[in-house]
Amino acid sequence: MVEINPDLITDDMMYEGIDLRTHDGRPLREHIMDSKMWGEIRREARTNEALHHALEQCILIYNLSKDHGA
C-alpha cells in the first residue's frame, strides 16, 4: 500500500470515483462508518446473548471462507 502524506490530501484524492487513500477505492468516510458500526456491534454483543452468538457465527464463517479461498 502506498503511504500518503495527510498534509497533501485534497479533493484531488478522488480519481474517477476512486478514493486513492483507501486500499479498495471506497471513500474514506465509508471505511470510518463501517469501523464505527462494527465497534457498536461488538460492544452491544457483550450484553446481548443472541447478538453475541450471531457475531461468533459470522467470525467463524469469515475465518473458514478466508482459509479456503471461498
Residue-range domain boundaries for the chain: 6-67
> CA quadruple 58, 64, 67, 70: dihedral positive or negative?
negative
CA angle 6, 17, 39 (to 5 degrees): 60
Mean pLDDT, the chain, whole residue set: 83
Q: How far apart are CA 20 and CA 2, in angstroms?
A: 9
CA angle 40, 43, 46 (to 5 degrees): 145
How large is the greatest C-alpha to C-alpha distance in the chain, in angstroms?
Answer: 45
Give the pLDDT mean for 31-47. 95
Give the pLDDT mean for 45-58. 97
With a cut of 80, say whether residue 14 has pLDDT above it.
no
